[in-house]
Structure formats: structure tokens, C-alpha cells
Structure 1
Amino acid sequence: MTLRALFDLLSGQPTLLFLLLSAVPTGAFLVNLWSGHTAESIWQWRYVYAALVYLACLPGVFALTLNVYLFLFERQSIWDMNLAVQLLPILTMVATLMMIRRKIPFSYIPGFGKLSGFLTLIAAIMGILWFVDRTRIYAVTYIPFVYILVGFIGLLLLIRFAWSRLF
């Protein structure tokens, strides 16, 4: 099964996809109701919040990365955008994060820093790949490939450091 076949299958069942993706913000809403109002009762639900964040963010980040790829590399028109597969996971992610943010700070959710690091890495790699795709540099060099690889990793670390300083 290819990724295109999976998207075609999901697009053929938009109601099922909508129900699956809307279950996550609905779960966040219900957990917000059940978790209480005291700091101790909210703290006990932090792992449930972490699971909800990951359930919302993994499809959302994948859809966001897919959109960036399709629009920058494949030059897909916005008119050809599949709303169920390309937009609904992003809306689910935003709605879930907004609901969770009202109840508990993201710094208290276990593993949220790892998720932002993952998103930073994806953004940095997509930016570098887009830059490489757009430039036409022809060079004959005697620089070993290891130095180029070390430079690439250094650039990723620099982007990660700058991102952590920014936020």
C-alpha cells in the first residue's frame, strides 16, 4: 500500500476520518471537565494530557509537513488540497492544544519538549531541503563528504539552539 492509496482510502471515508480526528479534541474537552480545578487534581491528569497531545500532534505535524512538501516541492495548487487529509488533522491539533493550554501549561506535560524538538528538526530539514532544491550550485571540490555532513549536523544544532533561545 502506498501513501497515495492510504490517502485515497481515507478520502473515501471522510465520516470515519472526521470521527477519529474529532475524538481527540472531544477527549481533551472531557478531560478538562473531569480533571477538576485544583492544581493537584490537574497534575494527576498530566499523562492523559500527554497522550492527547501526542494523539493530536503526530497526525497534525505529519499533515503540516505533507502540506509544506506538496506546496513547495510538488507545487500543488491550493485548489487541489484534500481538506479531509491535509487540513483536518491540523485543525484537530490546534483545537486540542488550545483546549489543553487553557487547563495546564505545556511545560507540565511530560514529553512536550521532545515534541517541539521533533517539530523543529522537521522544519529545519524541510527548510534546508527546500533551499538545496532551489539552488543550482555546481562545484568541483576536494572537501571530503564527512566535512559536509559535519557542517549539516552543525547547522541543525545551530537551528535547534536558536529555536530554544527564541522560545
Structure 2
Amino acid sequence: MTLSQFFASISTNPWPAVVYFLILPFTAWVVGTAADGSRDIKFWSIIYAILVYAVCIPGIFAVTLNIYLFLFERQSIWQANIVLQYLPVISMAITLMLIKSKIPFSLIPGFGKISGFLTLIAALIGVMWFFDRIHLVAFTYVPFSVILIGFVLTLLAIRFAWSKLF
């Protein structure tokens, strides 16, 4: 099954995906209400970790797909699939805000791995877009070390921005 076939299948029957992405923020709210006042932080952090992974994996994929489609494929925003391109991102944002209001992300196991993964994806997309736009030729006056330093600084800037975002 290709990605196009998968999207076509979900587009013909979007309700399972819609229900999944609506249940995740609701579940985060219910867990936050149930965990309010509890002293068992380890148990609730594991529950929140499951929710974070359940919402962030499709959310990060949707963000990456949107960036790819809009930057490289030049897809019009009017042709975007709401269920597959926007709903996962909205669900991820709402779920992460609900979780952040109840527990710091530093207590959630593996959250640093997700943010590191997102940083890597963002940096790679940025570099790919940069090379796509400049039409890099083999002869350049910019030393490779300057390009490498720029890439590392971009990684650090994205990492810093991500840490300030949540």
C-alpha cells in the first residue's frame, strides 16, 4: 500500500481518523482531571507519555508532510486534506497544551527524544529547502566549513525555539 492509497482510503472513510484525533485531547483532559491532586507522578507520567507518543507521531508526520507539500510540491492550501493534514496538528497542539498544564514535559519519559527528532526533521527539511532554492553548483566560494557551521547553528536555533515553545 502506498501513501497515496492510504490517504485515499482514509479520505473515503474519515471517521476513524477523526474520532482518534478528537479522543486524544479529550483523553488528556480526562487524565488531567483524574490525576489532579494525585501524588503518584510516575504512574501519571507514563500515561501522559503514551498520550504524547500517540498524538505526536501522527502530528509530526502531518507537519512534515505539510511542509513538504507546500514547499517542494507547491500544493495549494485549498487542496489540503483537513483530516490528514490539519486535524493531527491541531490535536497535537491541544493535547500538548493540556498535558503541559498538568505536568512538566521534563517528567514525561522520552519527551526529549521526540523534540530531538522534530529538531532533526526540521533541520533536514530546512537544508533540503535551502539546496532546492539556491540551485547549488559544484563551484562555490563559500567554504564547506561555513556551510557546516550554518547547519549546526540552524539546529541550535530550532532546538532553542522548540524549548521556548512548550
Q: Shorter-chain TM-score category?
A: 0.7 to 0.9
* CA drift at 1:44: 2.7
1:36 matched to 2:31: no
What are the ranges of 5 or more consecutive residues in structure 1 without an aligned counterpart? 142-147
* CA drift at 1:138: 2.5
1:23 matched to 2:17: no
| 2:154 pairs with one of 140, 153, 159 | 159
CA contact (8 A) 1:32 1:100 kept: yes
Partner of 1:47: 46
CA contact (8 A) 1:117 1:160 kept: no
CA contact (8 A) 2:127 2:151 kept: no
Partner of 1:139: 138
Partner of 2:66: 67
Partner of 2:115: 116
CA contact (8 A) 2:28 2:51 kept: yes
Pair 1:129–1:95, CA change in 2 (3 A): same
Identity of aligned residues (%): 46
Amino acid at match of 1:49: Y
Please give the alpha-carbon distance, in whole angstroms, between the structure 1 residues aligned to 2:2 and 2:147: 30
What are the ranges of 5 or more consecutive residues in structure 2 without an aligned counterpart? none
* CA drift at 1:157: 4.4
Amino acid at match of 1:28: A
* CA drift at 1:94: 0.7
TM-score normalised over the length of structure 1: 0.85
* CA drift at 1:43: 4.0
* CA drift at 1:135: 1.4
CA contact (8 A) 2:32 2:102 kept: yes
1:8 matched to 2:3: no
TM-score normalised over the length of structure 2: 0.85
Amino acid at match of 1:78: I
Partner of 1:99: 98
3-state SS of paired residue (1:98): helix
Aligned residues: 160
